[in-house]
Amino acid sequence: WQWHKVRLSWNGSVDAQQKLRLWYLTPTQNLLLNFVRALLVAALALLMFGVLDNFRFKNIRPATPLLLWFLLLPTLSMQCPNVYADIPDKALLDELRTKLLEKPLPPDCLPSCAQIQQMRIALNDKALSIVLVIHAQQAVAIPLPAAYDQWLPSQVLVDGKAASGLFRDNNNLWIDLDIGEHQVTLSGTTAILSQFTLPLPLKPNWVNIQQLGWKVIGLQENNQIDDQLQFSRITTTARQNETTLEPSALPPFVRVERTLQLGLDWRVITQITRLSPADTPIVLDVPLMPGESVTTAGIRVKNGKVEVNIPARQTDLQWQSTLEKSDAINFIATDTTQSIDVLKADISPIWHVEADGIAMIHLNNATQWLPEWHPWPGEKITLHITRPASVEGQTLTIDNSLLSIRPGQRTQDADLSLSLRSSQGSQHTITLPEKAILQAVAINGQTQPLRQEGRKLTLPINPGQQEVSVSWTEAIGITGIMATPIIDLGMASVNANLNVSLGQDRWVLFAFGPQMGPAVLFWGELLVIFLLSTGLGKIPLTPLKSRQWFLLLVGLSQLPLQSAAIVVAWLMLLGWRTQQVSGVRYFNALQVTIGGLTLISLGILFLAVEQGLLGSPDMQVIGNQSSALNLNWYQDRSPAILPVATLISVPLIAYRLLMLCWSLWLAASLLNWLKWGWACFSSNGLWHKAVAKKIVVKENDKWLAGKDQN
């Protein structure tokens, strides 16, 4: 496939009523147009050199260059060949189907292709036996309750026969089972450790444990089971008197970090972090604080304690709780050798806290004050909490605002950003424009489900600083005189900013608004051009009148100032050239200079035409980081109603038409200027040859005459 790409872009929103139309030329039409262009270029060249002066259309010659110039303007051409994609044949489709079906698909039952219906455990000081009743819907591999560093069976039977599909993956033991119901028996000697853990990667539905001399942790009263079972040997008096050495892993050690979030609601976030090696599981009880209620699912609480069961290779565990509001919070560090306690307090400004007990550690992060306490086991911390009395005065401040407008042909998009600070929770109402249709409201980046009531929009305000963003659309198309919408913020504000983003099809003429905003400097330049044209028209060196100088300089104003100076100097030099006689010194150098200036000036005029017909107008819009397409205003203090900015603009096609008229005028005038310039350039000759000079020398009281070729 081959095609031509044309990139089209628009600024502003688009509604369902808008249509897109494209006009394009076929390759044949474009080919014919190229021949016409070539013929017209040849005709224009012959006309400029006076070859066609004797033809019958001599009387209409002044109008002919205008027509030729207009027809030679660039024409958009687009080739749109009809291309279609071929449908693959049957052989290719069959081949693709075969390749697709070659790869086996996983069974639909995954990851629940097998379940352990029952698990019976018999445990004493010498032997451990586990009987599993497993239902398999597909032939799959199942992890067994065994671990290499804890306990491994010495014998595994499947339906009374030795298992043939056993394999070990790192620390886990797996078995391959066919489809159907199976009874798997694991047996072996009891671990010589004082405690060991059986992981349960595949939890059974029903568990029965018969233990003698062992304590089991992980089996709940409702027959629910944790991710692992921990067996601890019960020490008897006789066993305590024995001095035996047994291999054992390091006891688990964790960090229990509680973060109090005291705001409108009180919460506690508890983070358990493993400090010991992650080779062994962790089973311990973490006491709750007075008035604490766990809200995180899957966390078991028994007798005011959270039963923590962390499997091996897991490093942390976290849960959230609610805390009852009270005048004081009492915290006592757990007296244990398995953990250390850390207490943090994230306190809202609506509360005042005084601490008793050990000293706090002041920790300031990027956004808030966050004190910490690191108590030793058994130490007590008391937080006395009071709510400060409110003080009369302003509780809400609008630090800055930004109103961004993006006008379109039929609709106008607007975004309002506010930076608020509040000392208490409340609601604040702002008033939108009459035709505003609310699109979205976000507070601190989170979208809020708010609706407008007429022109009113009520925002929930929380204590502290927050960023509010409101977006809406208005069924208003862009006009020649456009003003920013009237927004009532409900209270006075500071640092008000206005921004208007125009599309590339608008020509900005004037901009009004707050003093710190954009300024269109072109009109001052136009006044200078008028005064300069009046003065140049009074100089008799050129046939140009003041109005012609004015039109010429206006068109050249879109180029740098040096370009206009070169063209003016070129015309003045041609007029001065007619006053020079043939005997002037450096005559040939003057001719070369005029020829070079002629080429440069014609190039500048061509660039001016190209800039006017294809470029954008340079209105010299500056001020507050503004440009012709992006205008910004700023006001330090503003009443409840935001300041209003006004723009006067016209479609860019108006600029194009004016520059087209200027280009046609320039083409007609340039023919006359070139003929006048050629007459100036060729007056008194085009080039002077060297002149012979006589030299008289006196030698030996005699005069000698000779010639010197200069």
pLDDT band at 328 (very low <50, low <70, confident <90, very high): very high
Task: Give the whole-angstrom CA distance, residue 677 versus residue 574.
Answer: 6
Q: What pLDDT was estimated at residue 86?
A: 67
> With 50 as the cut, is the pLDDT of residue 75 above it?
no
pLDDT band at 693 (very low <50, low <70, confident <90, very high): low
> With 90 as the cut, is the pLDDT of residue 50 above it?
no
pLDDT band at 517 (very low <50, low <70, confident <90, very high): very high
Q: What pLDDT was estimated at residue 529?
A: 92
pLDDT band at 709 (very low <50, low <70, confident <90, very high): very low
Sheet holding 328-332, edge to edge: 328-332, 380-386, 352-357
Instruction: Considering only residues 212 and 416, tell me which one the structure prediction assigns the higher pLDDT.
Output: 416
Amino acid at 62: P
> With 80 as the cut, is the pLDDT of residue 400 above it?
yes
Q: What pLDDT was estimated at residue 415?
A: 94
3-state secondary structure of 256: strand
Strand partners, 225: 219
Global pTM value? 0.48
3-state secondary structure of 659: helix
Q: What pLDDT was estimated at residue 244?
A: 54
pLDDT (mean) for 613-628: 89
Per-residue pLDDT tens over the stretch 27-47: 899 889 999 989 888 888 787
Q: What pLDDT was estimated at residue 223?
A: 65
Instruction: Considering only residues 327 and 212, tell me which one the structure prediction assigns the higher pLDDT.
Output: 327
pLDDT (mean) for 643-651: 93
Amino acid at 209: I
pLDDT band at 80 (very low <50, low <70, confident <90, very high): very low
Distance set, CA 279 to CA 170, 230, 245, 350 (Å): 12, 14, 21, 45
Per-residue pLDDT tens over the stretch 106-162: 777 777 788 898 888 988 888 889 999 999 888 888 888 888 777 888 889 998 888
pLDDT (mean) for 534-559: 90
Task: Give the whole-angstrom CA distance, residue 245 versus residue 421.
Answer: 66
Q: What pLDDT was estimated at residue 699?
A: 55
> With 90 as the cut, is the pLDDT of residue 481 above it?
yes
3-state secondary structure of 549: helix
